[in-house]
Amino acid sequence: MTLLLSAWTIGLILSLLALGIYISYRVFKFADITADGSITFGAAVAAAMLTRGVHPVTASVTAFFAGCLAGLCTGVLHTRFKINQLLSGILVMTALYSINLHVMGSSNIPLLSVTTITTYAQSLGRWITGHDSATLLGWPVNARDVGSLLLVGAIVFVIALLAWLFFRTNLGSAMRASGDNEQMIRALGVSVENMIVLGLCVANGLVAFAGALLAQYQGFADVQMGIGMIVWGLASVIIGRALIGTDSVGAALIGTIMGSVLFRLIVALALRWGLNPNDLKLVTALFVFGALVLPTLMQRVKRHAPAT
Amino acid sequence: MLQLRELQKTFFAGTPNEVRALRGVSLQIEDGSFVIVIGTNGSGKSTLLNAVAGSFFVDRGAIQIAGKDVTRWPEHRRASMIGRVFQNPFSGTAPTMTVAENLALAARRGQPRGLGRLLPARIQKELRDRVASLNMQLETRMHNPIGTLSGGQRQALTLLMATWRRPDLLLLDEHTAALDPKSADQIVRLTEEIVSEHRLTTLMVTHSMQQAATLGDRIVMMNQGNVHADYAGAHRRHLRADDLVRRFDEIRREERLDASAAQLLRETYV
């Protein structure tokens, strides 16, 4: 049960990463590898502040803005200096590695002895269950796990709701249109460049926020924790697309969150059944590869099928 | 009023692929005038339209719209004054967004876009009424993605979108060329209606001599990056499609003559 709860919680935390990737990859068709650096950046900023006694909410919100800054850099490199999408992301991601080491002061910061969001989650869980441990559907569970899941669920719900509302505003719709048809939205007076910069800011802000929450939940920030996160996000977005299958924003946002949770559950099960953790990134990459080529392959098979 | 002074544009300058697309085009278009631009392939007519729209900056010359010098304005800034319909019916609309969303985006052309709702209840009715006025039964599909509509339907909506806020200048770039004949007729009729109803200053590029002869009050014929002929007033009224075709043949003959003369000179002296 603890395993299940923790898989749900991490899945929900990483769904914020997936929402960020949804904005860059689905809205703008921009494979933004900055995410690998900005998730660590968020964790690093939050951890550094927490160890200096800053309030967890302030630390997490600051992490969000730190991520925005990273996204701003990638956006400006791409739109003002005309550097290719992937390369802009790689440059910022690489630079962030050094910056993260400076922010953290070492390659790892433990957070077990400081006040974090998890501390509040624990009190929340204790308040709900009444004890340090309780039973859920006949299984013994830890108050900390229950509290974390509820708190993270609430945060994700609020952020998804804000994202949904945003994409229905004039500005948010112009952003969607920028990814859908550049020529059209330019002719309607919108600077596509500004939209890309703004979109990448928000996307990386969400990714960094996910990093901050993840560090607090798992109890440490590590300079290596971002490796392969973009692929993780892509996998969630792709699963979400397959689950929902429409282009409407609300459905896509829900799908992305479900995709992230489902993917984390699958991974937790696979690990439980003996998948070597070292193979995790390889399997994730293969999965995304499959999801990317499968539609084209299916079409080719269909075309070659004899006409009836 | 649109004023173009000595516009010059060279693509791929200094390479073997150099194209001198505009070679000093000057043109003045009065308010409320409907100008048809014709010309052979590569004569620079689409380039002229794109230069006015701001798809690129000209190398030399100046562009003035309604008294404002927009020569160095980026495309999205000029959009506050210009409505555009493209040749490709898919270029003017955002396919995954709904009909209503596309129209609402166009209703704020050139306006600042903030955190107000795109589709508040009060504008939904206006959107529906305007779409119903097209008589294409599209008002029942306001919440369908616009990508599910046909090319003709999308082009009609693009035209509606381009003129939703009255533009100082309407640019139509062969906007019926990619449609089937029936849809093309429909769009031409709609264009006439909208342009005359709002007395829009319009610049329309077309390949169809028939359209050129029947639409508009002035015809500009382009050749080799310059204005070759300009028919307005009485000249324009007496012009028939056949006359235009004949004029094109003359141009072609002159060009062939040029080419064969050059060939002759080369053979004799080189």
ipTM of this complex:
0.88
Question: Measured between CA atoms, how close is A246 to chain B, in angstroms?
Answer: 10
Name the phi and psi angles at A8, rounded to 5: -60, -45
Asked if A174 is an interface residue toward chain B (Cβ–Cβ < 8 A), one would say yes
pLDDT tens for each residue of B99-111: 999 999 999 999 9
Asked if B117 is an interface residue toward chain A (Cβ–Cβ < 8 A), one would say yes
Dist CA B270 CA B250 (whole Å): 29
> B92 to chain A: nearest residue by CA?
A184
Dist CA A173 CA A199 (whole Å): 12
pLDDT at B26: 94
Select the residue from B118, B160, B171 to test the A interface by mutation, using most A Cβ atoms within 10 A: B118
pTM of the model as a whole: 0.90
How many CB atoms are closer than 10 A to CB B33?
Answer: 18
Total count of residues recorded for chain B? 270
Dist CA A76 CA B191 (whole Å): 40
Question: Measured between CA atoms, how close is B218 to chain A, in angstroms?
Answer: 25
pLDDT at B260: 73
pLDDT at B3: 94
Q: Are A155 and A15 in contact (CB under 8 A)?
A: no
Share of chain B above pLDDT 90, in %: 70
pLDDT at A307: 52
Select the residue from B88, B105, B127 to test the A interface by mutation, using most A Cβ atoms within 10 A: B105
Question: Measured between CA atoms, how close is A169 to chain B, in angstroms?
Answer: 4
User: Predicted confidence band at B244 (pLDDT cuts at 50, 70, 90)?
Assistant: confident
pLDDT mean for each 10 residues of chain A (308 residues): 86 97 94 96 97 96 98 97 96 97 95 90 84 70 87 96 96 96 95 97 98 96 94 91 82 94 91 88 87 80 66
pLDDT at B184: 93
Question: Tokens in use for B110?
Answer: 């050139």
pLDDT surpasses 90 at B40: no
Nearest to B205 by CA among B32, B10, B47: B47
User: What part of B 33-62 touches A (C-beta under 8 Å)?
Assistant: 53
Burial of residue A273 (number of CB atoms within 10 Å: 0-12, 13-18, 19+): exposed
Between CA B143 and CA B149, with CA B144 as vertex, the angle to 5 degrees is: 135
pLDDT at B247: 83
Indicate the average pLDDT of chain B. 91
Share of chain B above pLDDT 70, in %: 100
Burial of residue A224 (number of CB atoms within 10 Å: 0-12, 13-18, 19+): exposed
